[in-house]
Chains A and B, each alone.
Chain A
């Protein structure tokens, strides 16, 4: 399984862009990068995923470096409700299933 490395915590001012980095230097060519987040007392929530191209949806943008060894999740206009633990996950395929391997994640705190 490819391992991911994320900063333990980050702060962001409300209304500003939050840029959350992730290193996955041992990622394989057919593995995708997924981002989930967990808001306190809730279950994890899917945000976005990508293989090698940059991706954008209504929640966030995902920038993957050309060598695919790192990526950045961008929340363009962070709000207080975006305070959560953000997990960068490399997709594991085992027996046809899609189990997710969570690391320690980044605790993002959005402040006024």
Chain B
């Protein structure tokens, strides 16, 4: 079974440019999450999709970040325009169920390392 995949693995862009990160969850997983770790900080939650709907976007830092999940399959996270402080590693995770059950562990992708110059 294929795991969570993310593309690209690395991205280097200049300040003010736009970058789009992609995440393909494990097939059949309705729940998709985005997290990120910026330099020297802890891994932080960004948002949570259930199928194509945003369940929780409380962690999105500002309106330069836009996440979508078309058709409830893959998801994209767009940063426009990118700023220096957006540099870090962006992780995607998926889980089969959600809600209040404790057994729905999240499977993480390898992350996308974003560098904004």
Q: Which of B12-20, B70-78, B107-115 contacts A (4 or more CB under 8 A)?
A: B107-115
* Interface check B50, CB cutoff 8 A: yes
Total number of A-B contacts with CB less than 8 angstroms? 67
Shortest 4 CB-CB distances between A and B: which pairs?
Answer: A43-B108, A102-B43, A46-B105, A99-B45
B56 touching A97, Cβ below 8 Å: yes
What is the chain B residue whose CB lies nearest that of A45?
A: B108
- Given A46-B105, A102-B42, output 18 extra A-B contacts at Cβ < 8 Å: A32-B102, A38-B43, A42-B110, A43-B93, A51-B102, A94-B58, A95-B55, A96-B50, A96-B98, A96-B100, A97-B31, A97-B56, A98-B98, A99-B33, A100-B33, A102-B35, A102-B44, A103-B42
Q: How many angstroms from the CA of A93 to the CA of B110 in the assembled complex?
A: 25
| A-facing residues in B40-60 (Cβ within 8 Å) | 42-45, 48, 50, 55-56, 58-59
| A-facing residues in B86-102 (Cβ within 8 Å) | 91, 93, 95, 98-100, 102
A99 touching B110, Cβ below 8 Å: no
* Interface check B104, CB cutoff 8 A: yes
A-B contacts, 19 of them at CB < 8 A, read: A32-B102, A41-B110, A43-B93, A44-B108, A46-B106, A46-B107, A93-B100, A94-B56, A95-B56, A96-B100, A98-B31, A98-B48, A99-B33, A99-B59, A100-B45, A100-B106, A102-B42, A102-B44, A103-B42
